[in-house]
Every structure is written in C-alpha cells, then in structure tokens.
C-alpha cells in the first residue's frame, strides 16, 4: 500500500513553492466575536486558494458547534468532466474515518456485555492465528486492536482492492507474521479493524455491514452512509489528475464506508450529546467517554503520542482547545479528515476527491477549528515563529549521519559544510538546527538558497540503544537508524531482478522494476511502480534467518516479514500475499 506520507514528500516542490498569483485573504473585521459569517468568508477563501494551488477538483466541509450545524458547503466539482458541482450532499469514500464508527460499534457490544476489551481476542474469533517472533507475549485483546497496539502488520496487501471476504483474509493471515511484539508500540493496522469487524459479525449474528448499519448508522439517521457506492451524489475521484472511479475495498471495517459531510456532522452531534442524537440514546455516556481515554500511556516507542479507542488524541496543531480527537482517511482518490474538540463541543469534517488533497484537507479542518475557537470562545492561536538557527559542533551533527529506514524506505542523512541534509526519494532537504536535537526543514533551491517548507520538524532521540529521527507530523513518523547486520549467503542468492507472479487487478498493476540488491552492506528491495500507483522506493530488509527477512524500522508498513524459498529450482519470495520470482 503506497505511503501517503512519502507521496507528500514527492509533492514538496509543487505544494511548498507554488504560491504565486493566488488570491488575497478577505479583510478581517476589528472584532470577530460571534461572527460566524467571517469564518465562512475566510474559509471559502482558504479552501478555494488551496484548491487552486493543489489542483484538487472538489471538496466538502461541515462545521458543528454542539448540536448546531454551523456551516456545510461544497466547492469545485464532484465530477469535473460532467461539470457536476460538489455540495454538502456529495458522497465520497471516507477511508479510515470508518475505523472510528467501527470502534463505536464495538463499544456498543462492550456496553451490552458481549465483549470484554481485555479478554484474549481469540475467545471471540478462535481461528485467528499468526506466526510470531514473540511466543511469550501476552495475547492480543480488543483493546489492543482498537488503539493499534496489537503488533499486527499495517496491511495484508494481496487482495486489498477486491471483494474478498474477511473470512478469506482470516485464513490468509495464518501464514503471516506479527510485525511487532504486542502491547509495546503503536503500529497503525487495517488488519486490527478487520478482526474487530469479524468479531462484531459473530457477536451480533449479522454480517458486518448489516451489524454496523442496524446498530449505528440507522439509529443515527446516517442515511447516506453505506458500504456500497449506489448514491447518485457519488463523487468521482482523481489520481495524478486523472479520473479514477472508486475501487472496491476488502477491508470494510478499516476503510470501506461512503458518506457525506452532513451524515458525519450527525455523528459529531451524537458525540457531543454524550451518545444520543435528537433525544435517542445510541451509546451510553460512560462507554463513549472511554473512547477518549489514552491507552498504553508512556510507552517509550510511542514518543509521547496519545491514542484512544478508535481515535487519535494528539497531534493537531490547534492550541487552547482542550482534548482533541480525530481521524483522517484516504483511499486511492479520496482524502478526509474529521477533527473534534470534545470538551469544547466543536467539530469539523472535510472530504476531497483527489489524491493530492491531503495537506489541504488537514489544514482546512484545523483552520476551521482555530477560527471557531476564536469566534465563539475568544481563544486566539499563538503566532507562528520561525525558530532561529543555532550553530552546533560538527561532532554533534556527525552523530546523526547515516542510513535510516523511513516507513521501511531507505533515507540517508549526510553532513554538508554547515548543515545536515536529508536525502529521501529524489529530494535533498536541509535540516536546520534550532536545538541540539530539534531541526526544522528547508528546501534548497538549486543549491542557491534554502527556504522554509511545510514539512514536519525532526527530533533526534535514542530509546534502548535504538537511534531515531522522528518526523513530528500529526502522527509521528519514526525513522530508525540502520545498524550493521549480517546477510546470510542464502539471501545473497536472491540478489537480482524479480518478477511478480500474482498481480491484482487494482494494485501493483504497473510494477516496472523489482530488484533485490545489496548497497553499503544493506539488503534492499528496489521497487519502481508506474501508472496510477506511481512511486519508487528502496525497502530495507533485515534477515531473521536463512529464509525470512523483515522490513526494518518502526512505523506504518514496517516489520512485515518476507519468506524466501526454492520451488522447482526457482528462487521465490512471498511478501504480504504476493509471490515474486528471481529472473536474473
């Protein structure tokens, strides 16, 4: 599954520097207290400016204050070719926002006494089994699955874009490995949500789709939210500016819902009413509040982040709003963000129909919350100040030099005349020190001038002898320094070109290049994909033994195990359900 974060890096030059000839912001009144009209005017400018800058065809937004829908509007086109405008009623794929609704449905089962968050999960799905390097680890639980601490891989890639059943996926997982020791670290996982969906079906006696609809969507009146794209208001998606109709997704509990901002505004009202909507109880207040309680606090490898049951509880750059709870979503061609300030009872949802919409969707949601806080409560955001560069001894900077695994992909930090430089994909970024361990990021224009860009700052830290460069995005992106490691002779035999034996109809269709190589003592899988999935990465593989190696590092898409074997004299590898064969 392509990393949306790496694709954001790929668009740095366009999004960070293409700001000329854009409209000026509207004039701010002397006093904006209670002036919701100013919020709408400012946000219309902000969104249209962002769409013009990024090329996003269509976007919808809704803002909720307690039980009041303050504003809902669409911008641009739901279907650019047919000139169908986007409105508040436009339906989009909402991706992983589905996980929040999935979590609420599980809490209904907890409240009904059918599910215990801390019992071994296999009590509910006995067939679940995966291979593990940690045989003595405590069993995984529904709690661990809900907050992504079960140690599961992020995805099982084979069949992701298909109509395969969750029962089929359950059988396929028997040959896969846990990515991390359970209960020790956050690792975002679609598989965890899928397992919870299987449990929901078994606990209720309905299919997963029927259970979520009957128990949650229907009681909330979310009549335009479903797992099938049947709505006449469905938006068309765009990938690299090419039209791309929504694709089927196997992982329904993790990201399969279609919805619109009006339905999701109803969901936010339900949250702000402590589990009721329009006087009708759907979930008890205590069960709902439990979803906002930080889980597994203070784990060293979580680096201070907070995660609830289905929610992210930290990372939004919104000051003075109290507790925050949010979740974003993304499919091939749709990006979404739902962000709430539960203590203030303010919430916003933004959805767009293009793969390039990530930054705009996130920033529009945050801008709306900041304005709402100021207009309603007088909470003013502190000014953004560019921290000054400090001089660090060369020996201090030298400690950070080396090769890193950034979400499994090879990145490199080098030391120039005065600054560290991050080499990732085809970019070279300057790291500007503002403390001995904290660096902001600038983009070097043709070696002539370095300019600040909207890129997460980087902190260098060490945990139990492991060294990290932490990209402080909304959800942190740990980049782990790669130590020296041995490469067994068996794995050296796999160096060379490989071909994919079992491609899917909707993924890895245009795999142009797949080559295993050894570079600077590291085993790498060099992958180049053209077409709609366009990307090029070098995945860092560390052998566990003669026949198994894992994607090194920490974070999404990392920890997955590849299996090497010989079949009829052919050297083959299996990774996340895909089969590769060495051809030269």
Angle 36-54/358-377 helices, nearest 10 degrees? 170
pLDDT above 50 for 194:
yes
> Is 246 in contact with 321 (CB distance < 8 Å)?
no
pLDDT above 90 for 480:
yes
Q: How far is CA 474 from the centre of its chain?
A: 10
pLDDT above 70 for 13:
no
Strand partners, 347: 64, 340
For every residue of 172-223, DSSP letters joined together read HGGGPBPSS-TTSS----HHHHHHHHHHHHHHHTS-HHHHHIIIIITTTT-T
CA distances to 96, 311, 363, 446, 477 from 326, in Å: 11, 6, 13, 38, 17
Percent of the residues in the chain that have a pLDDT greater than 70, as a whole number: 95
Question: Mean pLDDT over residues 338-352, rounded?
Answer: 98
Q: Tell me, what's the pLDDT at 532?
A: 57
Q: Tell me, what's the pLDDT at 546?
A: 95
Q: Tell me, what's the pLDDT at 248?
A: 87
Q: How far is CA 282 from the centre of its chain?
A: 28
Q: How many Å apart are CA 523 and CA 550, to the nearest integer? A: 10
> Is 188 in contact with 154 (CB distance < 8 Å)?
yes
Q: Residues, the chain, total?
A: 584
Q: How many Å apart are CA 177 and CA 560, to the nearest integer? A: 7
Q: How many Å apart are CA 97 and CA 105, to the nearest integer? A: 13
Copy the structure tokens of residue 42: 């400012």
User: CA torsion sign, 465 to 470 to 476 to 481?
Assistant: negative
For every residue of 548-569, DSSP letters joined together read EEEE-SSSTT-S-EEEEEEETT
What tens digit of pLDDT does each residue of 142-190 get? 999 999 999 999 999 999 999 999 999 999 999 999 999 999 999 999 9
> Is 268 in contact with 347 (CB distance < 8 Å)?
yes
What tens digit of pLDDT does each residue of 102-116 get? 999 999 999 999 999
Query: Tell me, what DSSP letter sits at residue 517?
Result: E
For residue 255, count CB atoms less than 10 angstroms from its CB and return exposed for 0-12, middle for 13-18, buried for 19 or more.
buried
Confidence of residue 10 (pLDDT cuts 50, 70, 90): low
Strand partners, 497: 515
For residue 318, count CB atoms less than 10 angstroms from its CB and return exposed for 0-12, middle for 13-18, buried for 19 or more.
buried
End-to-end CA distance of the chain: 26
Q: Tell me, what's the pLDDT at 9?
A: 54
pLDDT above 60 for 84:
yes
Q: How many Å apart are CA 65 and CA 39, to the nearest integer? A: 13
pTM of full prediction above 0.85:
yes
Supply the mean pLDDT for the chain.
Answer: 93
Q: Which of 62, 66, 2, 96 is nearest to 312 (CA)?
A: 96
Q: How far is CA 191 from the centre of its chain?
A: 14
> Is 121 in contact with 115 (CB distance < 8 Å)?
no
Strand partners, 68: 65
pLDDT above 60 for 374:
yes
The better pLDDT of the pair 116, 528 is held by 116
> Is 346 in contact with 272 (CB distance < 8 Å)?
no
**Which helix (H) or strand (E) covers residue 326, if one does?**
strand 325-330
Pinpoint the alpha helices (H) of 75-186: 98-111, 142-146, 166-172
> Is 93 in contact with 237 (CB distance < 8 Å)?
yes
Using left for φ > 0, alpha for ψ between -120 and 50, and beta otherwise, residue 261 falls in: alpha
Q: Tell me, what's the pLDDT at 14?
A: 46
Q: How many Å apart are CA 253 and CA 194, to the nearest integer? A: 5
What tens digit of pLDDT does each residue of 413-446 get? 999 999 999 998 888 999 999 999 999 999 988 7
Ranking 124-138, 218-232, 276-290 by mean pLDDT, the lowest is 218-232
Confidence of residue 531 (pLDDT cuts 50, 70, 90): low
Query: Tell me, what DSSP letter sits at residue 481?
Result: E
pLDDT above 70 for 533:
no
Q: Tell me, what's the pLDDT at 21?
A: 61
């Amino acid at each position: 599954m392509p990393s949306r974060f790496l694709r954001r890096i790929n668009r740095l030059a366009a999004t960070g520097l293409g700001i000329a000839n854009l409209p000026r912001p509207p004039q701010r009144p002397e006093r904006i207290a209670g002036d919701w009209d100013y919020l709408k005017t400012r946000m219309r400018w902000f969104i249209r400016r962002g769409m013009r800058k990024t090329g996003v065809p269509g976007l919808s937004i809704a803002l909720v204050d307690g039980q009041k829908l303050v504003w809902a509007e669409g911008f641009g086109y739901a279907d650019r070719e047919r000139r169908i405008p986007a409105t508040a009623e436009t339906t989009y794929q909402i991706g992983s926002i589905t996980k929040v609704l999935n979590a609420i449905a599980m809490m209904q089962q907890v409240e009904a006494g059918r599910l215990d968050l801390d019992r071994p999960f296999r009590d509910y799905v006995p067939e679940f089994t995966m291979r593990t390097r940690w045989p003595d680890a405590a069993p995984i639980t529904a709690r661990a699955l809900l907050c992504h601490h079960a140690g599961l891989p992020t995805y099982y890639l084979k069949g992701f874009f298909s109509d395969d059943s969750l029962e089929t996926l359950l059988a396929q997982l028997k040959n896969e490995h846990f990515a991390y020791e359970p209960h020790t670290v956050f690792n975002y996982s679609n598989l965890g949500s899928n397992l919870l969906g299987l449990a929901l079906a078994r606990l209720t006696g309905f299919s997963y789709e029927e259970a979520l609809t009957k128990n949650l969507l229907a009681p909330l009146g979310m009549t335009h939210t479903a797992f099938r794209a049947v709505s006449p208001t469905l938006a068309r998606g765009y990938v690299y500016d090419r039209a791309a109709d929504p694709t089927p997704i196997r992982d329904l509990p993790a990201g399969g819902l279609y919805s619109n901002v009006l339905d999701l505004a109803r969901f936010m009202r339900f949250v702000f009413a402590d589990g009721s909507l329009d006087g009708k109880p759907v979930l008890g207040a205590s069960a709902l509040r439990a979803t906002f309680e930080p889980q597994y606090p203070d784990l060293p490898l979580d680096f201070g982040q907070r995660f609830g049951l289905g929610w992210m509880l930290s990372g939004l750059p919104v000051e003075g709003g109290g507790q925050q709870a949010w979740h974003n979503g993304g499919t091939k061609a749709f990006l979404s963000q739902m962000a709430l300030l539960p203590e203030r009872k303010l919430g916003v949802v933004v959805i767009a129909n293009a793969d390039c919409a990530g930054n705009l969707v996130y920033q529009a949601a945050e801008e709306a919350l900041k304005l709402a806080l100021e207009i309603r409560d007088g909470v003013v955001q502190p000014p953004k100040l560019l921290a000054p560069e400090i001089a660090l001894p060369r020996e201090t900077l030298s400690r950070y030099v080396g090769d890193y695994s950034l979400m499994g992909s090879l990145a490199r930090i080098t030391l120039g005349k005065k600054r560290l430089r991050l080499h990732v994909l085809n970019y070279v970024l300057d790291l500007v020190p503002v403390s001995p361990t904290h660096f902001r990021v600038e983009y070097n224009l043709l070696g002539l001038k370095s300019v600040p860009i909207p890129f997460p700052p980087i902190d260098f830290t060490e945990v139990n002898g492991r060294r990290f460069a932490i990209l402080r995005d909304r959800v942190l992106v740990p980049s782990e320094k790669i130590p020296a490691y041995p490469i067994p002779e068996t794995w050296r035999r796999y160096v060379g070109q490989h071909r994919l034996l079992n491609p899917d109809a909707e993924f890895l269709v245009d795999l142009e290049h797949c080559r295993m190589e050894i570079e600077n003592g590291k085993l790498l899988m060099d992958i180049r994909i053209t077409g709609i999935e366009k990307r090029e990465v070098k995945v860092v593989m560390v052998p566990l033994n003669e026949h198994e190696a894992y994607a090194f590092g920490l974070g999404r898409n990392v920890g997955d195990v590849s299996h090497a074997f010989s079949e009829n004299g052919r050297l083959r590898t299996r990774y996340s359900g895909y089969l590769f064969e060495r051809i030269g």
